[in-house]
Amino acid sequence: MKVKKVSDHIWSLKTWMIIPIHVWIVVDKEGLTLVDAGIPMMSNGIMKYVNQLEAGPLQRILLTHGHSDHVGALKNILSETKVPVYAHQIEIPYMEGDLIYPRRKKAEYNVAKQIAQPLQEDEHGGLQTIAGLTPFLTPGHSPGHVVYYHEQDQMLLAGDLFTSKNGKLHQPMPMFTADMTEAVRSSSIVKQLKPKRLEVCHGNSVLNPADQLKDYIQKMEKKLLEK
């Protein structure tokens, strides 16, 4: 597994399974947070790196969504350390198999019941910041997909809201995307937050993504009209 420090408080851990798969470790005064849990074979590497950081034990896991390549290491990690796992409340019934992900034929039982708990709302109807990370609902790739914004580092951990190649924003994988039109609409979060840097699960870093957003949306709108 390849580890890279991507900002003052955030490390990205990467493996390959046909495509790159990233998870992120975020250091904060409220303790260590893992964002997304990758695939099962990543669990040892993740825990090893948590120990190596010497910044205290893992305190929580935040999920961008419940697809199998984002929750795979949960079971092993939780057998070692009991930490709370959070996802958007819209996403939880899909990842537990009570609802079928849109455009899929069968229910997916990606996360056992009673493991994930809903991200809490704040008094303005947004989602509460946890350990320096503010979640924003960005549906489309999946119904309850969220991104996490680290304000201090101006870093957006964007999960599967996009993929990326050579520093450019690309669409999330069409085959696994519930509603591409909605996903493109959700990409406007980048304009709202103007992060200095954006990380995706399947791809490399994108600097100042807001600068490319107009082009991305135009390209995607054309693509969606052609369909």
For residue 107, the minimal CB distance to Zn ion (Å) is 16
Measured from the CB atom, the residue of 9 and 77 that comes closer to Zn ion is: 77
Shortest distance, position 189 Cβ to Zn ion, whole Å: 16
Reference 82, options 49, 109, 115; nearest CA is: 115
Give the shortest CB-92-to-Zn ion separation in angstroms. Answer: 15
Q: How far is the CB of 91 from Zn ion (least distance, A)?
A: 11
Q: In the complex, which residue's CB is closest to Zn ion?
A: 67
CB 113, min distance to Zn ion, A: 21
* Interacting residues toward Zn ion by CB under 5 A: 67, 69, 160, 201
State how far the Cα of 109 lies from the Cα of 48, in Å rounded to an integer: 27
Rounded distance between C-alpha atoms, residue 169 and residue 155, angstroms = 15
Q: Which is nearer to Zn ion, 132 or 159 (CB)?
A: 159
At 121, phi and psi to the nearest 5? Answer: -85, 155
Sheet holding 58-62, edge to edge: 2-7, 10-17, 19-26, 32-35, 58-62, 85-87, 116-118
Q: Which residue, 20 or 31, has its beta carbon nearer to Zn ion?
A: 20
| Closer of 9 and 67 to Zn ion (Cβ) | 67
Distance CA 111, CA 66 (A): 8
Q: Which is nearer to Zn ion, 141 or 150 (CB)?
A: 141
User: Residue 93, Cβ neighbours under 10 Å: how many?
Assistant: 16
